[in-house]
Amino acid sequence: MSKPYTIRPIEEDDFSAWLPLWEGYNAFYGRSGPTALSMYIIQTTWQRFFDAYEPVHALVAEQDGNLLGLAHYLFHRSTIQIEPSCYLQDLFTDESARGQGVGRALIEAVYQAAESAGCRRVYWHTHETNATAMRLYDKLAEKSGFIVYRKSLA
Protein backbone atom coordinates (compact mmCIF):
# COMPACT_ATOMS: atom_id res chain seq x y z
CA MET A 1 0.00 0.00 0.00
CA SER A 2 1.43 3.37 -0.97
CA LYS A 3 1.53 6.40 1.28
CA PRO A 4 -1.20 8.99 0.82
CA TYR A 5 1.58 11.60 0.69
CA THR A 6 5.14 11.96 -0.55
CA ILE A 7 8.23 13.43 1.10
CA ARG A 8 10.35 15.56 -1.20
CA PRO A 9 12.81 18.45 -1.19
CA ILE A 10 11.19 21.85 -1.11
CA GLU A 11 10.86 23.68 -4.44
CA GLU A 12 10.91 27.40 -5.15
CA ASP A 13 7.24 27.27 -6.23
CA ASP A 14 6.25 26.00 -2.76
CA PHE A 15 6.57 29.33 -0.95
CA SER A 16 2.86 30.16 -0.68
CA ALA A 17 2.05 26.64 0.59
CA TRP A 18 5.12 26.47 2.87
CA LEU A 19 4.49 29.84 4.55
CA PRO A 20 1.32 28.82 6.46
CA LEU A 21 3.12 25.73 7.79
CA TRP A 22 6.11 27.86 8.81
CA GLU A 23 3.81 30.36 10.51
CA GLY A 24 1.99 27.51 12.27
CA TYR A 25 5.28 26.13 13.55
CA ASN A 26 6.36 29.53 14.83
CA ALA A 27 2.97 30.17 16.45
CA PHE A 28 3.26 26.82 18.25
CA TYR A 29 6.48 28.07 19.83
CA GLY A 30 5.05 31.49 20.70
CA ARG A 31 6.47 33.42 17.76
CA SER A 32 3.31 35.03 16.42
CA GLY A 33 1.65 38.43 16.63
CA PRO A 34 4.13 41.00 17.97
CA THR A 35 6.81 38.32 18.42
CA ALA A 36 6.42 36.92 14.89
CA LEU A 37 9.46 36.58 12.69
CA SER A 38 10.03 39.50 10.37
CA MET A 39 9.47 39.04 6.64
CA TYR A 40 13.20 39.69 6.21
CA ILE A 41 14.04 36.62 8.34
CA ILE A 42 11.40 34.54 6.57
CA GLN A 43 12.66 35.53 3.10
CA THR A 44 16.30 34.97 4.09
CA THR A 45 15.48 31.53 5.48
CA TRP A 46 13.57 30.68 2.31
CA GLN A 47 16.46 31.78 0.08
CA ARG A 48 18.95 29.69 2.08
CA PHE A 49 17.10 26.52 1.11
CA PHE A 50 18.10 27.13 -2.51
CA ASP A 51 21.66 28.43 -2.01
CA ALA A 52 24.21 25.70 -2.70
CA TYR A 53 26.66 27.42 -0.33
CA GLU A 54 24.28 27.24 2.62
CA PRO A 55 24.10 24.11 4.83
CA VAL A 56 20.34 24.62 5.39
CA HIS A 57 17.88 22.25 3.71
CA ALA A 58 14.13 21.67 3.67
CA LEU A 59 11.81 18.77 3.00
CA VAL A 60 8.04 18.82 2.73
CA ALA A 61 5.26 16.27 2.88
CA GLU A 62 2.85 16.69 -0.02
CA GLN A 63 -0.53 15.18 -0.80
CA ASP A 64 -2.56 16.08 -3.88
CA GLY A 65 -0.62 19.33 -4.35
CA ASN A 66 -1.06 20.41 -0.72
CA LEU A 67 1.79 20.62 1.78
CA LEU A 68 1.12 18.72 5.01
CA GLY A 69 4.39 19.19 6.85
CA LEU A 70 7.91 20.51 6.79
CA ALA A 71 11.36 19.61 8.08
CA HIS A 72 14.28 22.04 8.09
CA TYR A 73 17.73 20.67 8.83
CA LEU A 74 21.32 21.72 8.56
CA PHE A 75 24.73 20.10 8.45
CA HIS A 76 27.57 21.35 10.61
CA ARG A 77 31.02 20.42 11.83
CA SER A 78 31.76 19.09 15.28
CA THR A 79 34.71 19.09 17.64
CA ILE A 80 34.15 15.45 18.61
CA GLN A 81 34.04 13.76 15.20
CA ILE A 82 35.37 14.29 11.69
CA GLU A 83 32.10 13.66 9.90
CA PRO A 84 29.41 16.35 9.88
CA SER A 85 26.39 16.27 12.18
CA CYS A 86 22.83 16.97 11.16
CA TYR A 87 20.63 19.22 13.25
CA LEU A 88 16.90 18.83 12.63
CA GLN A 89 15.95 22.40 13.46
CA ASP A 90 12.25 22.56 12.59
CA LEU A 91 9.60 19.87 12.22
CA PHE A 92 5.92 20.64 11.81
CA THR A 93 2.84 18.83 10.57
CA ASP A 94 -0.41 20.57 9.78
CA GLU A 95 -3.01 19.75 12.41
CA SER A 96 -5.27 18.11 9.81
CA ALA A 97 -2.50 15.62 8.92
CA ARG A 98 -1.37 14.65 12.42
CA GLY A 99 -1.49 11.00 13.35
CA GLN A 100 -0.93 9.87 9.75
CA GLY A 101 2.82 9.23 10.01
CA VAL A 102 3.87 12.49 8.36
CA GLY A 103 6.22 13.54 11.18
CA ARG A 104 7.82 10.10 11.27
CA ALA A 105 8.26 10.08 7.49
CA LEU A 106 9.87 13.53 7.56
CA ILE A 107 12.30 12.50 10.31
CA GLU A 108 13.19 9.31 8.46
CA ALA A 109 13.79 11.33 5.27
CA VAL A 110 16.14 13.62 7.23
CA TYR A 111 17.94 10.48 8.46
CA GLN A 112 18.38 9.39 4.84
CA ALA A 113 19.63 12.81 3.72
CA ALA A 114 22.07 12.95 6.63
CA GLU A 115 23.39 9.49 5.92
CA SER A 116 23.85 10.38 2.24
CA ALA A 117 25.83 13.46 3.31
CA GLY A 118 28.13 11.34 5.46
CA CYS A 119 26.72 12.41 8.82
CA ARG A 120 27.16 10.16 11.82
CA ARG A 121 24.27 11.57 13.84
CA VAL A 122 21.03 13.50 13.65
CA TYR A 123 19.78 15.40 16.67
CA TRP A 124 17.09 17.90 17.58
CA HIS A 125 15.45 19.72 20.47
CA THR A 126 11.87 20.10 21.50
CA HIS A 127 10.13 21.97 24.25
CA GLU A 128 9.61 20.03 27.47
CA THR A 129 5.84 20.54 27.17
CA ASN A 130 5.64 19.01 23.68
CA ALA A 131 4.46 15.63 24.99
CA THR A 132 2.70 14.56 21.79
CA ALA A 133 5.83 14.99 19.70
CA MET A 134 8.00 13.35 22.34
CA ARG A 135 5.92 10.17 22.13
CA LEU A 136 7.02 9.92 18.49
CA TYR A 137 10.59 11.03 19.16
CA ASP A 138 11.01 8.38 21.85
CA LYS A 139 10.33 5.75 19.16
CA LEU A 140 12.80 7.20 16.65
CA ALA A 141 15.77 8.34 18.72
CA GLU A 142 17.19 8.38 22.22
CA LYS A 143 17.16 11.28 24.65
CA SER A 144 20.63 12.70 25.07
CA GLY A 145 20.13 13.87 28.63
CA PHE A 146 21.47 17.31 27.77
CA ILE A 147 19.69 20.49 28.77
CA VAL A 148 19.89 23.49 26.44
CA TYR A 149 21.05 26.88 27.76
CA ARG A 150 20.93 30.04 25.68
CA LYS A 151 21.49 33.74 26.01
CA SER A 152 20.23 36.29 23.51
CA LEU A 153 22.93 38.73 22.50
CA ALA A 154 20.80 41.21 20.63
Instruction: For residues 108-134, give the mean pLDDT.
Output: 96
Given pLDDT bands bounded at 50, 70 and 90, which one contains residue 1?
very low
pLDDT at 121 over 80: yes
Whether 145 maps to a domain, the answer reads no
Instruction: For residues 11-33, give the mean pLDDT.
Output: 94
Whether 153 maps to a domain, the answer reads no
The structural domain count of the chain equals 1
Average pLDDT, the chain: 94
Q: Give me the CATH number covering residue 34.
A: 3.40.630.30
What HEC string does the chain produce?
Answer: CCCCCEEEECCHHHHHHHHHHHHHHHHHCCCCHHHCCCHHHHHHHHHHCCCCCCCEEEEEEEECCEEEEEEEEEEECCCCCCCCEEEEEEEEECHHHCCCCHHHHHHHHHHHHHHHCCCCCEECCCCCCCHHHHHHHHHHCCCCCCCCCCCCCC
Whether 15 maps to a domain, the answer reads yes
Residue 154, pLDDT score: 77
Whether 74 maps to a domain, the answer reads yes
Whether 152 maps to a domain, the answer reads no
Residue 27, pLDDT score: 93
Residue 72, pLDDT score: 98
In this predicted structure, which of 33-42, 98-107, 119-128 has the lowest mean pLDDT? 33-42
Whether 57 maps to a domain, the answer reads yes
Whether 147 maps to a domain, the answer reads no
Whether 86 maps to a domain, the answer reads yes
Domain that holds residue 45: 6-140
Given pLDDT bands bounded at 50, 70 and 90, which one contains residue 3?
low
